[in-house]
Amino acid sequence: LAKTTQPISMDSYEGQEVNITCSHNNIATNDYITWYQQFPSQGPRFIIQGYKTKVTNEVASLFIPADRKSSTLSLPRVSLSDTAVYYCLVDGGGSYIPTFGRGTSLIVHP
Amino acid sequence: GAVVSQHPSRVICKSGTSVKIECRSLDFQATTMFWYRQFPKQSLMLMATSNEGSKATYEQGVEKDKFLINHASLTLSTLTVTSAHPEDSSFYICSAPGGAAGDAGNEQFFGPGTRLTVL
């Protein structure tokens, strides 16, 4: 299974753009990259998914370089409600078993 | 999007008793579901893969006789914590893939979690 590495924590302020990078050096050819958000005492929820280049939806953008060994989740103009833990997951190379790394705890300050 | 529910949302029980947690896919069928455990300030730890109509696959270190999983229908998986002890107190979360298990690019739909407290 592809292992992911993320910063343990990040701090930001309201209105700023936040970029969280995830390393997945042994990603397999068919693997997708998916990011989830988790609030305390809740189940994770889907944010965005991509395979290569750039993906954008109404809440975030996902940048994936050509070698796909990393990905960056970009949150534009964060608010206090974006304070959460963010996880990147990589497909298990054909045997998809969603395995979580340590995630990144984002704290947004007023 | 698809919805996964869990019941109960929280449960308090005495040491030595058994507790059953239900995970339901409300508007889609799931031949596979996943069960996780999460301790405070930690990540989700995969416990087992629940397979409809067959035995669950447990991760290394997870006691299958203690954490009984039954996936009797395409929309319901249950996790029973048998003879619960205080160290089993945790946040239990289930998930189901939006597509066929094993497909690349599947989005996981997570339940809201069940807080288990064993006294």
> Average pLDDT of chain A?
92
Cα B117 from Cα B99, distance rounded (Å):
33
Count of Cβ atoms closer than 10 Å to residue A10 Cβ: 15
Give tens-digit pLDDT for B87-112. 999 999 999 987 665 566 678 899 99
Contact B95 A41 (CB under 8 A): no
| DSSP category for residue B37 | E
The pLDDT of residue A31 is 87
The pLDDT of residue B43 is 96
Helix (H, G, I), strand (E, B) or coil at B107: coil
Contact B21, B78 (CB under 8 A): yes
**Shortest CA gap B95–chain A (Å):** 9
Q: Compare CB distances from A32 to B6, B43, B104 and report the shortest one's residue.
A: B104
Count of Cβ atoms closer than 10 Å to residue B25 Cβ: 24
Give tens-digit pLDDT for B40-55. 999 999 999 999 989 9
- Compute φ and ψ for A13, nearest 5 degrees: -125, 155
Interface of A with B (CB under 8 A): 30-32, 34, 36, 41-46, 49, 51, 87, 89, 91, 94-103
A4, A97, A105, best to mutate vs chain B, most B CBs in 10 Å: A97
**Residues 6+ away with beta carbon under 8 Å from B79:** B20, B21, B23, B35, B47, B67, B68, B69, B92, B94
Cα B114 from Cα B10, distance rounded (Å):
5
Which residue is closest to B112 within chain A, CA to CA?
Answer: A43
Cα A26 from Cα A93, distance rounded (Å):
10
Across A19-28, A51-60, A87-96, B75-84, least confident range: A87-96
| Dihedral class, residue B45 (left if φ above 0, else alpha if ψ from -120 to 50, else beta) | beta
**Residues 6+ away with beta carbon under 8 Å from B42:** none
The pLDDT of residue A97 is 78
* Chain A residues within an 8 Å CB radius of B37: none
Place of tokens 């969603």: A98
Higher local confidence (pLDDT), B106 or B83: B83
**Residues 6+ away with beta carbon under 8 Å from A58:** none
The pLDDT of residue A104 is 98
